[in-house]
Amino acid sequence: MTSFSIGDTDFLRDGRPHRVISGAIHYFRVHPDQWQDRIRKARLMGLNTIETYVAWNAHESRRGEWDATGWNDLGRFLDLVHGEGLDAIVRPGPYICAEWHNGGLPVWLTGGERALRSSDPSYLADVSEYLRRVYEIVAPRQIDRGGPVVLVQIENEYGAYGADKAYLASLVAVTRDAGITVPLTTVDQPVDQMLEDGSLPELHKTGSFGSRSAERLATLRRHQPTGPLMCSEFWDGWFDWWGGVHHTTEVEAAASDLDELLAAGASVNIYMFHGGTNFGLTNGANDKGRYLPLITSYDYDAPLDEAGNPTAKFFAFREVIARYAPVPDELPAAAAPAPALTVPLTSAGAWTDAAASAALADRPQTFDELGHLSALMRYDVELPDAAGGLLVVEEVRDLAWIAVDGVRAGTLSRTRHDRAIVIPPGRMLSVLVEDQGRVNYDHRLGEEKGLVGTVTLNGTPLTGWRSTPLDVAEIAAGLAAGSAADATANSAGPTAWTGVFELGAQSDLFLDTDAWSKGFAFVNGFFLGRYWRNGPQRTLFVPAPATRIGENVLVVLELEELVSAQAAFVPAPALGVTSE
């Protein structure tokens, strides 16, 4: 079997110097039927390795319900990497950031008072069980057992969060006890304190950066005197948030930075080679004083775009890599226009009144208290003496629509730091709250969602709340099956819409959402994700395996109003105005 180790200056493959030229593909952001295509294109760009995070909350969204099948079949993904003749790097966290909801940690883990990402015994017990499950998949696929895995990472940019060396040592012990024999690494930004806090002497330090390669490598070398230099997150693009722009990096500049890195003899993992999509409700959020939920697309301005097509950056990177390593002669096919068609939509009625069990309590119950993992919670309370006035919430997480007796009064937004609104007199107050994405970075992991704390009207607390979880995927499934709600509803307010369209072949599609306001979209029951006129994103990617030859069903759950009661599929993605 092949060996892989760390030498004085290089990675060693069977004792010979070896440079890792890797690219990131997150299996959980790509339809499983398209994994093979993306991996093959990585090889065609000249990569010899594929890196992936492991998203714990994708595998175990509810405690004890472990799933490693379908979208979560990490073993199959690694086998496909191996079948393409490539190596693999696995980064199981448990924390991954990745602009993924809650940084990859399950909500059931992060709720409560225990210290996250620390040597807290109860936290470590859960983390250890998780890692053992992952390593049951990874260990038999290590390179010295005939598989593709050459490196495993411990934690993730831990120096930006904490300095609990006992915690890191515990993760190493679990990893080694589970049979992981390949070299173990850590990654941090090339900042002295982060590199010092985020690793242990027995772990190989790597850096994360996207420019000024020589300078960053010099910093890394001060903390890693021997062994190969590696940038294990070479940022070739960036992520987007609602209300922002579509971030891009200049192709020639990114290629030049990659060239500088490789010219220095360093190994690299390009983050991202192919970004994919935050399908469903999987987008994360940032909050550094202002809450910014991330968009559905994770295109990342990567060498392969969201739909898996090569970009100008693909060919520029390929040209750079060819100066340092063999590159296949074969090229991937250029992007072809997707089918364009228009689909009339039919109102399926109000959908946020969907029958569901409600919790009764003096104060609003959070998503977390009710174990609710979907996007919406509806809160209802009777107003004393049919009074109106100043409504004040302690905190809304993250966006709330306020209605009195069914008439909209306005919204409260966490992003805007809203806390108060004047409501008209009426009998019943209804508040519909959307969890727009869990913060994936720093110390806001695991915060509760919904109406948090006390709600007052003219200074007096409102009591006697009904908190009703709304599972948008279940509601959409019911509508697709024909169980429509009140079909007499007009186009204003939360209204569901359905449409049917025909395809002659399964095809990647781009659903144009420009004529809609805010909501969720599904094709044949496949949850495409969120859309919002706040932008920058204007299309939702529909992977070909989610489509059918013949009849296809589109369901749209609109939270506000449609400008036009039709759906359009367009030939190419529209991700918004760029930062250039």
Q: What DSSP string describes 123-139?
A: HHHHHHHHHHHHHHHHG
Residue of 60, 99, 233, 306 marked catalytic:
233
Alpha carbon 572 to its chain's center: 22
User: Which amino acid type is present at position 577?
Assistant: V
DSSP state of 180: -
Q: Are 69 and 106 in contact (CB under 8 A)?
A: no
Strand positions, DSSP E, 445-525: 450-457, 460-461, 465-470, 495-503, 509-512, 518-523
**Residue at 105: amino acid letter:** L
What residues have CB less than 8 Å from 447, skipping those under 6 apart?
397, 438, 439
Q: Is 233 a catalytic residue?
A: yes
Contact 101, 437 (CB under 8 A): yes
Contacts of 478 (CB under 8 A, 6+ apart): 354
Task: Say which DSSP state 480 is in.
Answer: H
CA separation for the pair 92, 98 (Å, rounded): 12
Instruction: State the CB neighbour count (10 A cutoff) for residue 39.
Output: 26
Question: Distance between CA 228 and CA 232 in Å, rounded?
Answer: 12
Rg (CA), the chain: 25
The structure tokens listed for 261 are: 């890195």
| Strand partners of residue 456 | 392, 461
* Residue 162 to residue 333: CA distance in whole angstroms: 45
Helix (H, G, I), strand (E, B) or coil at 532: strand
CB 472 within 8 A of CB 374: yes
Using CA atoms, how far residue 126 sits from 122, 194, 224, 308, in Å, is 7, 26, 31, 36
Whether 157 sits among the annotated catalytic residues: the reply is: yes
Report which of 53, 65, 54 is spatially closest to residue 373, judged by C-alpha positions: 65
- Give the strand order in the sheet containing 399-404: 359-361, 465-470, 376-382, 428-434, 399-404, 407-413
The two structure tokens encoding residue 471: 């599972």
401 close to 559: Cβ distance less than 8 angstroms: yes
CA dihedral 241, 244, 245, 250 (to 10 degrees): -70
- What span, in angstroms and rounded, lies between the C-alpha atoms of 254 and 236? 6
Neighbours of 96 (CB within 10 A): 26
Nearest to 369 by CA among 472, 473, 469: 469
Q: How far apart are CA 338 and CA 211, in angstroms?
A: 34
CA-angle at 10, arms to 6 and 16, nearest 5°: 85
Catalytic residue, from 51, 157, 260, 558: name it: 157
Give the catalytic positions in this structure.
157, 233
